[in-house]
Structure 1
Amino acid sequence: MSFPQQPDANAPFGYAPNGVPYSEKSKVVAGVLQLFLGCFGVGRFYTGHTGMAIGQLLTCGGLGVWALIDAIMLLVGSNTTDSQGRVLRG
């Protein structure tokens, strides 16, 4: 008889295949926020990358190009991280 494994306090959402704990942030939420509000850097504020978010805010998302590319990278990228280097949950 096996007992359920206790959740790890250091990684409440589990570990990514590379051994890094998953973030509490979702890459789908970050990508959708970036897609619709990328001119304001909202997707990057959500993930904690405030420097990049302020850059997008000041340039209006690189006139929309930077925001669109960033949204695509957040949605389909497998190595997207939050500000603490943890992999965003799928």
Structure 2
Amino acid sequence: MTTPPYSQYPQGVSDKSKVVAGVLGIVLGFFGAGRFYMGDTKTGVLQLVVSVVTCGFGSIWGLIDGILILVNGGVDGQGRPLRD
């Protein structure tokens, strides 16, 4: 009988960091990088399309999203809360 592999993080918590996701959202919000990192590809693509269509003005969405992730946290693509 084998034992299950040791998990570094508690069950139900994402292996993605909210700090990394927030900084990516602030710095590379135009590309939706924070959302792609979190595994939320639909929102990441939407941020990219909005930024391109609005000639860069839509990147404010990524900036605000990154700040909110840093302040409030968030969930990854599987619905698990991001780790600190």
TM-score in same-fold range (> 0.5):
yes
TM range (shorter): 0.7 to 0.9
Contact 1:56-1:62 within 8 A present in 2 as well = no
Runs of at least 5 residues in structure 1 that lack an aligned partner in the other structure? 1-7, 16-20
Runs of at least 5 residues in structure 2 that lack an aligned partner in the other structure? none
In 1, the alpha carbon distance for the partners of 2:6 and 2:40 equals 21
- Percentage of pairs with the same residue: 47
Structure with greater proportional strand content: 1
**Bigger relative contact order (CA 8 A; separation at least 6):** 2
Determine the structure 1 residue equivalent to 2:79. Answer: 85
- Once the two structures are overlaid, the 10-residue window that deviates more, 49-58 or 65-74, is 65-74
Residue-pair matches, total: 77
Give the TM-score normalised by the residue count of structure 2.
Answer: 0.80
Please give the root-mean-square deviation of Cα atoms over the aligned residues, in Å.
2.1
Structure 1 residue runs of 4 or more that deviate by more than 6 Å after TM superposition:
none
